[in-house]
Structure 1
């Protein structure tokens, strides 16, 4: 199999890398992280103009990409720059759900997501979900021809500034049944919906949602009633791939910074990179990063494969990224010494982001168990 990117993907990666390096430097990123929004509307608009959002959608949905390797190319570049803009929540999670299950009228919302005028997000996780995709306690009951939603959602990406929510709710079944989960398109500001925003440790922002008798019309239902689990799995799978690719980009940046430090920091009159013990540690780290890259390539290639093969490849990649990302964060900081922990050095921020990626959309332990379980199903 040829794993070389197409010319179009290479051009996209070069353009995005250049833009991030020139316009999204560390000081700019820190100012954005400290802002009340947690992202820059101006930068968001520029990413849209560059076609970055459109690259995450297929041609049928108004984009020009949407394949696994398109997601990987975009998010690896974003990872190198620790980009904070809501591409994961809006384009990948919410956008993929709408593209997968939406009616023609609902898919009309994708144009606004692609041009950056609409920020959407997926509100699925709940306070005691613990990564289990089928565990949904928020309820939706019929009220005439419409619906009434009650419940709570947690850790919603950029929820306080989203224009549109894709919210999961249970219409029938037990709290952890795969069947009986429905998805709804909910506009921001609807009566009964309260949003509480908060910062994350790595510079982003999330929100808690409270739904108290939120009334929706019949057209708010996304896809079939009770059939939302497949759409959730589709969207979250693409999100897992995006996070894994972002982690590889962050690892590459951390590796480059550490190599530069080992070549310039001197002790006993020589660069510390000449010490054999540190060379061995760095060589081990380079091998681990290449293993992480291979896992992402495998997951990207399997994104359109049958369900079991696809989900196992995604969980395998997320398991590898969780372990290797933590290792890279720890080793790079240790090889820098005490300066590696300082706020002023970008490395500390890369380390925090790698740790956070492990906990988004399922950590290492969760995906390892899932990989084993899916293997038993396949057998």
Structure 2
């Protein structure tokens, strides 16, 4: 983008620029182009989902009406129509729009339903029970979630203690899961547990789950994260990933979750940056708009540049994955780590542009966006775990090293 003059007045709103980038994403199926899909998502959020946010934040409850709204509009079906990955372009645009609407915990909850739980059923559910659960999730008549972490088990999922044992004609699932979102609102829980032959993923209905504690999170207050006690008898059909294959199935699902989290971060940053850019134009100090002060103007430009480049990296990765290119877990982990850290920093800087009013939750949304984004460095895999995955994929080149370093 070339600026015709020093001021930012001639530049389109940040969100408009980034929406233009989104139009380049490839969408599958016959439901129209990216701009048309984005418009439908945006209208549905404005009319049916965003009005749920104040009560969800105040009551710390995840509104199942949000899942029902997207599902009944057919958006979940469109996302999971197509090949192995469904329609990744729709995944990104849907996630971005939830972030751009500032949905916070509602957006993340819908994302976990759509991009963490449903992929397991879509890719690995082969029984009639699993297919029925998938259809309930896609139609929005059931809220789905994944339960993995435990008291002493976070990133090391191979150490789960929840047990899966043979019990008559079926299986007995027992264990306590520590951080489950949106666990207190879920109708169907996909539980990572340990069987004699290795980790498995099992589908448990609501009547086999007890909410032990609703957790008071710093942000994402509408997400309804909970500690769950699970004690259920399930049939063979409820085993989505059989013993020994649970971790590989879960890791496949995490790929979509991490991309969706990154996309929601990008959408949220569009909102924060657009509000900040507008404020710098409107707010006057020392007789002139804040945007006339070079230090503020260049800080904003730096933040917009970083977000734009990160978004292009996300779009490129999704496009390559959709085309069958060799995208690795290292690539996706790297995007998630970069997006998570960038999100927290950019939201903090945008809050700073507003001064005192930015810190007041009853005057601007910046404080809420800031605390909401903080969890993105933890959920779906911590920064440290993501960077460890990236580090494992970094390889040297002995021949190149010898040519350039040891040639003497």
TM-score by length of 1: 0.88
Identify unmatched segments of 5+ residues in structure 2.
1-22, 399-408
Are residues 21 and 211 of structure 1, via their aligned partners in 2, closer, same or farther at CA, if it must alter by over 3 Å? closer
Match of 1:18 in 2: 43
Deviations 1:275-306 (A, max 9, x none): 00111111110111112202311331344588
1:144 to 157, 168, 188: 168
Q: SS of 1:372's equivalent?
A: helix
Deviations 1:155-205 (A, max 9, x none): 2112122111110101147xxxxxx11011111112x74543334322221
C-alpha distance in 1, partners of 2:371/2:321?
28
Q: How does 1:102-113 map to 2 (within 5 A)?
A: 102-105=125-128, 106-113=130-137
2:372 to 333, 336, 353: 353
Identify unmatched segments of 5+ residues in structure 1.
174-179
- Check if 1:74 corresponds to 2:99: no
Match of 2:229 in 1: 210
Please state how far the C-alpha of 1:259 moved relative to its aligned partner: 0.4
Q: How does 1:196-345 map to 2 (within 5 A)?
A: 196-200=213-217, 201-203=219-221, 204-212=223-231, 214-303=232-321, 309-344=327-362, 345=364
Match of 1:135 in 2: 159
Contact residue 153 and residue 209 of structure 1 kept, 8 A = yes
Are residues 93 and 155 of structure 1, via their aligned partners in 2, closer, same or farther at CA, if it must alter by over 3 Å? same
Are residues 153 and 78 of structure 1, via their aligned partners in 2, closer, same or farther at CA, if it must alter by over 3 Å? same
C-alpha distance in 1, partners of 2:26/2:321?
16
1:375 to 367, 373, 394: 394
Deviations 1:201-245 (A, max 9, x none): 222211111235x32222221133221111101111100000000
Aligned residues: 365
Deviations 1:281-337 (A, max 9, x none): 111101111122023113313445889733112111011112211210221111111
Contact residue 196 and residue 243 of structure 2 kept, 8 A = no
C-alpha distance in 2, partners of 1:17/1:119?
21
Q: Which sits farther off after the overlay, 259-268 or 156-165? A: 156-165
The structure having more radius of gyration, on CA atoms, is: 2
Match of 2:146 in 1: 122
- RMSD of aligned residue pairs (Cα, Å): 2.6
Please state how far the C-alpha of 1:142 moved relative to its aligned partner: 1.8
C-alpha distance in 2, partners of 1:153/1:263?
48
Which ranges of 4 or more aligned residues in structure 1 deviate by more than 6 Å? 305-308
Are residues 123 and 57 of structure 1, via their aligned partners in 2, closer, same or farther at CA, if it must alter by over 3 Å? same
Match of 1:176 in 2: none
Match of 2:79 in 1: 56
